[in-house]
Amino acid sequence: MTERTKVADEVATYTEGLMGKSVPRQTARRLATGRGRYLDDIDAGVPYHVAFYRSPYARARFTLGDLSAAQKMPGILRVVTGEQLSTVCAPWVTRLEMLPEHVSAPQHPLAISEVYWQGEPVVAVVAKTRAQAEDALDVLEIDWHDLEPVVDAAQALQPESPLAHPQLPSNLALQREIRRGDVEAALSKAACVVQHRFSFGRQTGVPLEARGVVARYDPRTEELVVYQSHQSPFQMQEIYAKQLSMPLSQVRVLCPDVGGAFGIKLHAYPDEMAAVAIAKLLAVPIKYQADRLESFVSDAHAREAVATAQLALDGQGRILGLSFDALFTFGAVSLYPRSSVGEALQVLEMCGMAYKVPALHGRVRGAFVNKVPSGAYRAVGQPLASAIIEQLLDNAAASLGMDRLEIRRKNYIVEADLAGDGDKRLRGLSLHQCLDTLKENIGYEQLRQRQEELRTLGVYRGIGLCTFIEQTGVGAGLYGRNGVPVAGKESVRLQLGASGQLTCYTSASESGQGAHTGLAQIIADGLGCPMDAIVVRSGDTQVDPTGGGSWASRGIALGGEAANRAARQLRANVLAIVSAWKSVDVADLEIDHGVVSLSDGEMICSLQQVARLAHYDSTQIPLADIPSLSIECSYSPFEKPYFMANGIQAAEIELDAETGQIRVLDFWVVEDCGTVINPLLVDEQIRGGVVQGIGAALFEHCIYSDTGQMSNASLADYLVPMASEMPDIHVAHVSTPEKETGIGAKGVGEAGTVGSIGAIWSAVNDALRPLEAAAENQPFTPDVILSAILRKLQAD
């Protein structure tokens, strides 16, 4: 037995107390009373402000003309060019050691002589106010020579296509295949073969607080302090140190309250690199707060892909083979440092994974084009993987005259399929239980009946179904093995201070998910103290233990387990101290509500007294080595690369066949994230994720012109889901604790989004089925729906 499994066995006894209770978040009151402190609220001396001149072209060469007019404008400190910044900031190249064929071009904080996407920062103006900096952008003299861009992925892969970047060997950024069994034979011989074409529109995350940094470089001590609205402070510390040639110890990155992130604030962006490099170059405090317009053409884009897929089944609806081919539209370069390939690789790995698929052929490709670089956005490719297989199963059910829930149930993998050398990652799923629970919760039969009745009245309702599996708490295998310096573990340092206050410093940062509250619940139970004795802090590379941050649904799954272990170790140390002090056997001691007692209930002392003793009065403890009251623990999955969560979602929509408009009437989720530490917060993670997926499916779209300009780059034109368009969302749970950890929690931050996009695909096409039309283009705008109906009518 390994040491890790020992811990897991022992810890399973702690299931009572605060874990599992709906405790409101500790920070919510501060935020709800206007006392949040976000990036733009940071006051670091009197900073200068930066505004960027951004490329109006998707692909062009430029020459900087006379910049003196801008330099002479009121309030201007300096006009900074790419060449000037290259003296302090080295270019960076995205590389993955396990994927050497993925070749991306070098990136600079400011463009040097050429630009590769509309919105790429070209010149920085540093001024006393942002408004003054923006004034000077109007008088910069830049001579442009526009070049032919490539904006379409299929065209980019044609031999005669221009390159998105001259330093690329090819626009083909990624090509990977997976093959198992003889899928061609399955497709040619099967009783039933169905197919579907999928076009997923380009999107972006739109955190309400835009990105930003406040940077201060002190030339006396050669220290750099960067406040940044970011999800991964340790990643950025590493990057600033490397690009600015500084020792890691001289760089401190702090993340204040983060106003939404969703993966968008997980990358290293040229504008933020430029702002920090300018702080070093000019040795003045610099603030860069992106505005909404520039966010649309600089924040990571995501999810743009076209796919074709086929599913072969026998006459009873058993899957015989699955084939899919997806082409992703990346941007001009691969986002740094995590790259742009994640979404495509997730589709390759996860499409069909919840089902028994004897024969499989999948291919994913990605193409560089002259658009904003693409990268991680909530659920990273998994929504597409789910949407594809679930739509195929719906088509198969229709073709075979089968019930849509039953065809799913029939094909789910079961534990018996995983025996022996079977896939460890898929053990402990609860697909059948979730399906049964959903069926009951939605009143499936009545819903179906009502749908049928309304169809006779010309009302088209659709019921969407989407099984999902989800990678959560992704560990060190993802980036470490690829040579990308991003921690796959999460860590805590739990300290019992002399006042009796417990402080938990953690790498598990957050932007409102509530991980900190969950950690406090776990610590309170593990140590035996009330929650209000615990303060959880994160977002400071100087004081927190190293870890990944907030991405891949890891705060509780990994950070929580680290907290659990730290709390138990601290408990053991406290008891060892009391045992020596009072000459009592450790086995006879307990800690409850912050009080150490004998097993018979006699109180001995409070945690505060132990702390004062150990910190100030330790001669009373007859031990040469007093056990530490500061415990640091890290956790990363060991037996498997991540913890697989699962669930199923259902949507009911109404589609107006005259106008093409879709209204979401109701939405249900049944989800299994293992042990639920805090039901209140877990449910709201799911609901928020669902709405982000509904927005993706129905409204959100980065629309590009043929010349590579994003034509709807404002919040007035890029439509996001608002309250009046969204339904109530019913959430239920099945709980299958993760066996690898003591707390048994899996992640939940992305679950809603993983399934809701597919649920809307399924619902829309279910509504269209009596019209014999099929929707293939997301977002499902009225125009897309009417075109689908019209296509059918014209075919007749």
Partner 1 sequence: MRDSQVQDITVTLNGERREFAVPVRRNLVDFLRHDAGLTGSHVGCEAGICGACNVRVDGVVVRGCLMFAVQADGRVVDTIEGITASGEAEALQQAFVERNALQCGYCTPGMLMTGLELVNSGRMVSREEIREELSGNFCRCTGYHAIVDAIEHVVERGRK
**Interaction site with partner 1 (CB under 8 A):** 24-25, 27-29, 31-38, 40-41, 74-75, 129, 131-132, 135, 205-209, 257-262, 291-292, 511-514, 680-681, 684, 687-692, 714-716, 720, 722-726, 728-729, 752
Q: Measuring CA to CA, which residue among 348, 330, 338 is closest to residue 170?
A: 330
> Based on CB atoms, which residue is closest to partner 1, 5 or 129?
129
Beta pairing, strands 319-329 & 203-204? unpaired
Beta pairing, strands 534-538 & 502-506? parallel
Q: How far is the CB of 694 from partner 1 (least distance, A)?
A: 8
> Based on CB atoms, which residue is closest to partner 1, 619 or 724?
724
Q: How far is the CB of 222 from partner 1 (least distance, A)?
A: 31
> Based on CB atoms, which residue is closest to partner 1, 56 or 727?
727
> Based on CB atoms, which residue is closest to partner 1, 11 or 519?
519
Q: How far is the CB of 683 from partner 1 (least distance, A)?
A: 8
Residue 786 CA to residue 619 CA, distance in Å, equals 82
Tokens 């996860």 belong to 350
59 burial via Cβ count (<10 Å: 0-12, 13-18, 19+): buried
Residue 541 CA to residue 252 CA, distance in Å, equals 6
Do 136 and 67 contact (CB within 8 A), yes or no? no
- 511 token code pair: 């932007």
What stretches of 330-446 adopt beta strand conformation (E)? 359-367
Residue 729 CA to residue 709 CA, distance in Å, equals 36
> Based on CB atoms, which residue is closest to partner 1, 162 or 727?
727
> Based on CB atoms, which residue is closest to partner 1, 201 or 641?
201
Q: How far is the CB of 108 from partner 1 (least distance, A)?
A: 28
Q: How far is the CB of 331 from partner 1 (least distance, A)?
A: 22
Residue 496 CA to residue 482 CA, distance in Å, equals 38
Q: How far is the CB of 35 from partner 1 (least distance, A)?
A: 7
Residue 639 CA to residue 739 CA, distance in Å, equals 10
Residue 421 CA to residue 719 CA, distance in Å, equals 47
657 burial via Cβ count (<10 Å: 0-12, 13-18, 19+): middle
φ, ψ at 198 (rounded to 5°): -125, 130
Do 636 and 489 contact (CB within 8 A), yes or no? yes
Q: How far is the CB of 377 from partner 1 (least distance, A)?
A: 12
Residue 299 CA to residue 661 CA, distance in Å, equals 29
Query: 776: how many CB neighbours lie within 10 A of its CB?
Result: 19
Q: How far is the CB of 207 from partner 1 (least distance, A)?
A: 6
Do 645 and 589 contact (CB within 8 A), yes or no? no
Q: Which helix (H) or strand (E) holds 490?
A: strand 490-496
Q: How far is the CB of 30 from partner 1 (least distance, A)?
A: 8
Q: How far is the CB of 716 from partner 1 (least distance, A)?
A: 5
Do 14 and 253 contact (CB within 8 A), yes or no? no
Do 526 and 583 contact (CB within 8 A), yes or no? no
Q: How far is the CB of 95 from partner 1 (least distance, A)?
A: 32
Instruction: Label each residue of 243-272 as H, E or C.
Output: HCCCCHHHEEEECCCCCCCCCHHHCECHHH
> Based on CB atoms, which residue is closest to partner 1, 146 or 725?
725
Query: 609: how many CB neighbours lie within 10 A of its CB?
Result: 16
State the amino acid at position 304 in one-letter form.
E
Q: How far is the CB of 788 from partner 1 (least distance, A)?
A: 27
> Based on CB atoms, which residue is closest to partner 1, 299 or 776?
299
> Based on CB atoms, which residue is closest to partner 1, 54 or 165?
54
> Based on CB atoms, which residue is closest to partner 1, 74 or 483?
74
φ, ψ at 356 (rounded to 5°): -80, 110
Do 59 and 171 contact (CB within 8 A), yes or no? no
Query: 733: how many CB neighbours lie within 10 A of its CB?
Result: 20
> Based on CB atoms, which residue is closest to partner 1, 36 or 477?
36
> Based on CB atoms, which residue is closest to partner 1, 82 or 512?
512
> Based on CB atoms, which residue is closest to partner 1, 568 or 687?
687
> Based on CB atoms, which residue is closest to partner 1, 123 or 261?
261
- What SS3 class is residue 750? coil
Continuous H helices in 27-81: 28-32, 68-71
- In eight-state DSSP terms, residue 333 is S
Q: How far is the CB of 74 from partner 1 (least distance, A)?
A: 6
Residues 6+ apart with CB under 8 A from 561: 635, 741, 742, 743, 745
> Based on CB atoms, which residue is closest to partner 1, 168 or 293?
293
Q: How far is the CB of 282 from partner 1 (least distance, A)?
A: 21
Q: Measuring CA to CA, which residue among 473, 364, 353, 471 is closest to residue 423?
A: 353
Q: How far is the CB of 265 from partner 1 (least distance, A)?
A: 11
649 burial via Cβ count (<10 Å: 0-12, 13-18, 19+): buried
Q: How far is the CB of 109 from partner 1 (least distance, A)?
A: 24
> Based on CB atoms, which residue is closest to partner 1, 147 or 535?
535
Do 528 and 589 contact (CB within 8 A), yes or no? no
